[in-house]
Chains A and B, each alone.
Chain A
Amino acid sequence: MELKDLQKAWSQFSASQAGKKELDEEQIRTMLDRRTKNLIERIDRNIRVGFVVIFLIILVLVLNDFILSPWLVEGIDHQLRIPGWLLVLDVGINVLIVSLFLLFVISYFRVRRNCSGTCDLRHTLLKTIRVLNFYRQLFALVLVIFLLASGTGFLVGLFQGIHLNGMLPVNLPVVIAVGMVSLLIITGGLFFAFRWIFRRLYGNYLDQLKQTLRELDELE
């Protein structure tokens, strides 16, 4: 069979299909009104909601570190003074968390702004892949914040414990090691659980997009 025969057959077929399914303006409007959000739009909404939630978590962490905790400690023991190195570490961790968050938000909105539906295929593919990757990284960001905040919280708590309850210094290295290893195990477990869920939900789709991009890059 020649390709010219195919062109002829296709033109008859497509004309026949278009004739059978022709919609008027009202039907087109109804279709537009009834449409639900697609996957990328839903992910975009989830990422924005995620930003708000993370912002609130950071706000609570900062308020806890600089207002609530000092006020509570003051109420328990007037003599208790948090050492300078721990304060510097706490402030540094908070600055790091806020910077990571801002960097993430700015990068995301730059990707979103980068390209509309009228971009060429390569840019549309790149944008879709990046949005999906941001969604995955959002969970990693939450875990990093959890790890950093819990780590400093653990150290501050430990210091208060030593001061208030007179914990034996001989146990200190073991307590720190056990605490840190437990934190790493919890965070690592959550990280792999999130990764597994993400792959189950969007792994094939992401692979398919990457495969298409590779095909596009093959000869360029």
Chain B
Amino acid sequence: MEKEFLEIIRQNQGIIHKVCSIYCDSEEDRNDLFQEILAQLWKSFPSFRKESKFTTWMYRVALNTAITTFKKSKRQPAGSRLTVESFQIADEVYDPATEENIRLLQQAVARLSGIEKSIILLFLESKSYEEIAEITGITQNYVRVKMNRIKKKLVKLMNPAEE
């Protein structure tokens, strides 16, 4: 079972990296959360009954862990530890406009609540409302309403001059 788990996690580890990127603003926190999600996945793996896709199950465990994990209190306010490296993308896809968009997105996302972060992450991953509802365990109607609110909130946060 361990071999199967390690292989499947290796193939889908991008999901954990994405969740960590959305929920943490420092490298240290990202590493801690990565480890914690990995441990929860391993603990819950025997209960994975293949009724849903593995990635759906993985998103669910990862997001539940990210939202409920105890974070040690920080001296700096949330979002203040974002560094230049946080926004850098690989050279081959480097584009100043994209990097600026990423910077704005991360700064805006840092000000969202835990649930809002999970919904926006799944939206950015082009998941349908149905999939978002399945992963988060909330109704599609709720996802729709929440998504509209988050979109408005994000646009406002990213374009403060328009207010």
B139 CB-CB contact with A under 8 Å: yes
By size class, the interface of chain A is 35 or more
Asked whether any CB of chain B lies closer than 8 Å to the CB of A79, the reply is no
In the assembled complex, the Cα of A9 lies from the Cα of B95 at a distance in Å of 9
Q: How far apart sit A9 and B159, CA to CA, in the bound complex (Å)?
A: 16
Known contacts A116-B47, A121-B64, A125-B67; decide if A32 and B114 are in contact (CB<8 Å): no
Q: Mark B119-152, 1 if CB is under 8 A from A, else 0.
A: 0000111100000000011110110011000010
Q: Count of chain B residues with Cβ under 8 Å from any Cβ of A?
A: 65
Given A35-B39, A121-B67; A18-B138 close (CB under 8 Å)? no
**Inside 8 A of B40's CB, which chain A residues have their CB?**
117
A14 within 8 A of B: yes
* A 31-50 binary contact with B (CB < 8 Å = 1; else 0): 11011001110000000000
Instruction: Verify if A7 is at the interface (C-beta below 8 Å from B).
Output: yes
Shortest beta-carbon distance, A188 to chain B, in Å? Answer: 29
Please state if A25 and B151 are interface contacts (CB–CB under 8 Å).
Answer: no
Q: Give the chain A neighbours of B47 by CB distance below 8 A.
A: 116-118
Q: Are B159 and A216 in contact (CB under 8 A)?
A: no
Selected interface stretch from A83-91, A138-146, A156-164, A204-212: A204-212
B77 at the interface (CB under 8 A from A): no
Contact check: which of B39, B61, B90, B104 meets A38 at CB < 8 Å?
B39
Instruction: State which of A7, A15, A28, A121 has its C-beta within 8 Å of the C-beta of B10.
Output: A28
Q: Which of A12, A125, A202, A220 contacts B68 (CB 8 A)?
A: A125
Contacts of B159 in A (CB 8 A): 1
| B105 touching A6, Cβ below 8 Å | yes
How far apart are A155's CB and chain B's nearest CB, in angstroms? 44
- Per the bound structure, the CA–CA distance linking A5 and B125 in Å amounts to 13
Contact A212 B34 (CB under 8 A): no
When C-beta atoms are compared, the residue in chain B nearest to A29 turns out to be B6
Residue A171 at the chain B interface, CB threshold 8 Å:
no
| Docked-complex contact A16 and B90, CB < 8 angstroms | yes
What's the Cα separation between A20 and B95 when bound, in Å? Answer: 17
Q: Which residue of B lies closest to A117 (CB)?
A: B44
Q: Which residues does chain B contribute within 8 Å of A10, judged by CB atoms?
A: 102, 105, 124-125
In the assembled complex, A3 has its CB within 8 A of some CB on chain B: yes
- Which positions 68-127 of chain A face chain B at CB distance < 8 Å? 116-125
Q: Is A128 an interface residue (CB 8 A)?
A: yes
CB neighbours of B68 from chain A (8 A): 40, 124-125, 128, 209
In angstroms, Cα B67 to Cα A122, docked, is 11
Alpha-carbon gap, A7 to B98, bound state (A): 10
CA distance A204 to B142 in the complex (A): 27
Query: CA separation between A1 and B98, bound complex, in Å?
Result: 11
Q: A10-B124, A14-B18 are in contact. Are A28 and B6 (CB under 8 A)?
A: yes
Seed contacts A38-B70, A122-B138; 20 additional CB < 8 Å A-B pairs: A7-B123, A8-B101, A14-B21, A16-B93, A17-B18, A17-B21, A17-B89, A18-B13, A18-B14, A19-B90, A22-B13, A25-B10, A31-B35, A35-B39, A38-B39, A116-B47, A118-B47, A121-B115, A212-B113, A219-B141
List of 7 A-B pairs having minimum Cβ-Cβ separation, nearest first: A120-B137, A117-B44, A9-B101, A18-B14, A39-B70, A16-B90, A16-B89
